[in-house]
Structure 1
Amino acid sequence: MTVDRVGMVVHGGRPEAAEAARTVRAWCAEHAVACKDIDVWNDGGRHSAREEVAAAGDPDLVVTLGGDGTFLRGARLAAAIDALVLGVDLGRVGFLTEVPMTQVRTALDAVHEDRIDVERRMLLTLRASRRLEVPSDIGALMRYGRGPLLPPTSVRTDCETGGEWGVPLDVTALNDVVLEKLARDRQVSVGVYIAGRLLASYSADALLVATPTGSTAYSFAAGGPVVSPGAEALVFTPVAPHMTFNRSVVAAPDEPVGLRVLERSGRAAVSIDGQLRGVIGPGDWLGVYASPRRLRAARLGTMDFYGRLRERMNLTDAPAAVADGTPAPLWPVAGPPPGDLAHLALPHHPAASG
């Protein structure tokens, strides 16, 4: 693809990220490509995604230099303008970034020469009973997060408003949308609807709706399932629910998840990909559904998701499974499998690229 403008999202607290950023700037200078840092927190606070990418000249390619948190920041920006995002891996336990720091130049060359796969990841978006607002004292009250808050959510101008459909919020989530309690001593009480039908009323510390990409993040920590990032689904998971049914529910992409805060509930914080975006109370509701947009992520080759799952989660074989025999063979995703397992290696699916 033609790359005219690159925007960089850099983890400012890591020296190796600063070093990788110098490599990106040097590559851009050599190829006459404009390059600018975006998502800077120290310029009068946080800004909307569209404001940030506009200030960076609407980049064709967003390069993130850090871990999964940095990639999520870059994804928020890239999704706003349908830019391609390339994640350089400087993290420890993440699943989103791919390119090692030592291969930054190789990866940029591959993008520039159109030698990449473009993976399209499902995103979530929201409707709500009202605009999301953050109380002015929330930062001091909770010390919520490690940096300045993002601005209040705006309204999507391309959607109808009113009636049962509420307010279409101009936000996207790559990982998850979380509704969580504000007071330590008071759970949130929420009616949960899937595809328009009441599933149950929950009293819990939090309720979250994740994408397949986000299934290995907060949802996994709360006991949710691991879902292939290539799948299309909404994963609803309650966090510490005060009820017997504590399982996740995996819904189809056309089955929205509704969360209505009940009369006797405490206030609840709304977090999108780990960023606080608003506070709602009894009578308010959220509708979480699949966004018509997809995140376009650059891949240099086939992503070994299950190999990474085994590595990052430190999965080990059950002693009883290998005590009296030969352990299951491993093979690299890019190499041929053992002959007796050849039928398990599926061909590359062209629909994953575009």
Structure 2
Amino acid sequence: MHDGKRIGLVLHPVRDCSGAAARVAAWTTTHDVELVAGADDVDRLSLQGVTPVDVEELATSVDGLIALGGDGTLLGAMRLVAAAPVPVLGVNFGRLGFLTEVEARELDSALTAMAEGRSTVEPRSCLVVRGPGWEAVAFNDVVLARVPGQGQVEGVLSVSGRRYGRYRCDSLIVSTPMGSTAYNYAAGGPVMSPGAEGLLVTPSAPMSGISRTIMVGPVEPLSLEITAGRPAMEVDGVHSGQCGPGDVLEVTTRPDAGLLVRIADSRAADRSRVKLSLLDLPLLPDELVELVPDELRPPPAPQPTQVD
């Protein structure tokens, strides 16, 4: 991304990331790089030094993206450019930030590292989900979730055209390796290395049928026929419609559909392991800080000098 001449910003839809956007704008100005963002975001946050563009231009004209938000913002940025992937740097302004590469306080050093060539790009696969007349991509997971009053999720799974088994559960999660630490993990599924290949199918609160996670190879297409219930479908956590009996969802894997920026000497992997290990503890986020190893804590903020 350090050679890109046009970088795009993807911003959290609610949180005020204008300060970080201004820091990125200052950096691009001194590095002969044009900075663009969606026109609605530019107007909402009154961004200076950022060229407003429509979503289609943002998706097709940039050499890289910087996502300022949380994991959802990063996933949205990756989906935005899935048709023609460009490197995406995730900067965490959210609560967990399993997928983001740097914390907000590390933004300046990350920009410097990219300018100096101290960054790499890692490919990520995505799920391609198809139904009658529509198609969606997901980098974390696709979830069929029970809607209160609409019955449980019931369906038949087929792998490579062969019937595999049936499900009756509250939710059915199809996850990429990168998304294995999300809903799949919460439902008792295994954690996979993001560099692994394949996908996971995990039921949540199964009543009958298949009750454990199934791992499917990366070239094995799967299909799920809904036999009862009217579950909601979520794509990377975004509500994307509702299914009903007789609907068939086809799921395949597309390799190298996303490109994530990795910063040299980043502590992102260490932080994610700590965050993952703390999820099951009955403590509030502020209380968890005391359990984080000293070497993983941010340095204390400098205290203002008092003048007598």
TM range (shorter): 0.7 to 0.9
Would the aligned equivalents of 1:175 and 1:273 in 2 still touch at CA under 8 Å?
A: yes
Q: Deviations over 1:137-177 (max 9, x none)?
A: xxxxxxxxxxxxxxxxxxxxxxxxxxxxxxxx2x3211001
Q: Deviations over 1:198-235 (max 9, x none)?
A: 22111112211100110000111111111111111100
Q: Deviations over 1:178-206 (max 9, x none)?
A: 12233445112110122322221111122
Would the aligned equivalents of 1:58 and 1:81 in 2 still touch at CA under 8 Å?
A: no
Would the aligned equivalents of 1:5 and 1:57 in 2 still touch at CA under 8 Å?
A: no
Q: In structure 1, which of residues 178, 187, 194 is the aligned counterpart of residue 159 of structure 2?
A: 194
Show the counterpart of 2:304: none
Tell me whether 1:231 sits opposite 2:196 in the alignment. Answer: yes
Would the aligned equivalents of 1:260 and 1:285 in 2 still touch at CA under 8 Å?
A: yes
Partner of 2:251: helix, strand, or coil? strand
Structure 2 unaligned blocks of 5 or more? 44-53, 280-292, 297-308
**Which range is displaced more, 302-311 or 239-248?**
302-311
Where do residues 69-84 of structure 1 align in structure 2 (5 Å cutoff)?
Answer: 69-84=72-87
TM-score, normalised with respect to structure 2: 0.79
Show the counterpart of 2:26: 26
> May I ask how many residue pairs the two structures share in their alignment?
272
Q: In structure 1, which of residues 131, 134, 140 is the aligned counterpart of residue 133 of structure 2?
A: 131
Would the aligned equivalents of 2:150 and 2:229 in 1 still touch at CA under 8 Å?
A: no
Partner of 2:83: helix, strand, or coil? helix
**Two-structure CA RMSD over aligned residues (Å):** 2.8
Where do residues 159-178 of structure 1 align in structure 2 (5 Å cutoff)?
Answer: 169=135, 171-178=136-143
Structure having the higher strand fraction is 2
Would the aligned equivalents of 1:39 and 1:73 in 2 still touch at CA under 8 Å?
A: no
Pair 1:201–1:91, CA change in 2 (3 A) = same
Alpha-carbon separation, structure 2, partners of 1:233 and 1:7: 30
Letter of the 2:10 partner, please give it.
V
Would the aligned equivalents of 1:37 and 1:56 in 2 still touch at CA under 8 Å?
A: no
Q: In structure 2, which of residues 57, 70, 82 is the aligned counterpart of residue 67 of structure 1?
A: 70
Show the counterpart of 1:106: 109
Tell me whether 1:10 sits opposite 2:6 in the alignment. Answer: no
Show the counterpart of 1:299: 262
Tell me how far 1:32 sits from its aligned partner.
2.6
Structure 1 unaligned blocks of 5 or more? 44-50, 133-168, 317-329, 334-354
Alpha-carbon separation, structure 2, partners of 1:184 and 1:306: 41
Tell me how far 1:25 sits from its aligned partner.
1.2
Pair 1:178–1:12, CA change in 2 (3 A) = closer
Alpha-carbon separation, structure 1, partners of 2:24 and 2:68: 10
Identity over aligned pairs, percent: 39
Q: In structure 2, which of residues 52, 55, 76 is the aligned counterpart of residue 52 of structure 1?
A: 55
Would the aligned equivalents of 1:235 and 1:249 in 2 still touch at CA under 8 Å?
A: yes
Tell me how far 1:52 sits from its aligned partner.
1.4
Show the counterpart of 1:87: 90
Alpha-carbon separation, structure 2, partners of 1:172 and 1:185: 26
Alpha-carbon separation, structure 2, partners of 1:204 and 1:41: 39
Would the aligned equivalents of 1:120 and 1:294 in 2 still touch at CA under 8 Å?
A: yes
Where do residues 308-327 of structure 1 align in structure 2 (5 Å cutoff)?
Answer: 308-315=271-278
Partner of 1:54: helix, strand, or coil? helix
Letter of the 1:283 partner, please give it.
G
Tell me how far 1:295 sits from its aligned partner.
0.7
